[in-house]
Amino acid sequence: MYKRNSEEIQTILLNNIKWLIKRNDKTCEELANHLDIDFSTLTAYENGDKLPDIDMLIKIAYIFDVSVDWLLGIHREE
């Protein structure tokens, strides 16, 4: 059973997006352009003021070659 609440998932998502940006040596401006969104929208994601919708999560996952599950911190236990 999955035991995280929405605030925990949001924190994980924001931390994972920040980590991916740093790890891939991308600037926020480059990522915003690649995602076809305003820089202010990406900043709002990073600050936790706004959450990306499912379509944006899929774009972010695709750009960084990770799964949406990974972005959200969801790991299935075998």
Contact 10, 72 (CB under 8 A): no
pLDDT at 27 over 90: no
Match 């379509």 to its residue by tokens. Answer: 55
Residue 77: pLDDT band (50, 70, 90) is: low
The reply to whether the predicted model has a pTM over 0.95 is no
Which letter does DSSP use for residue 69 in this model? H
- What is the C-alpha to C-alpha distance for residues 44 and 46, in angstroms, rounded to an integer? 5
CATH number at 6-72: 1.10.260.40
pLDDT of the residue at 28: 82
Contact 13, 72 (CB under 8 A): yes
Nearest-5° angle of CA 61, CA 65, CA 66? Answer: 60
pLDDT of the residue at 78: 44
Q: What is the pLDDT of residues 46-68, one digit of tens each?
A: 888 888 999 999 999 999 999 99
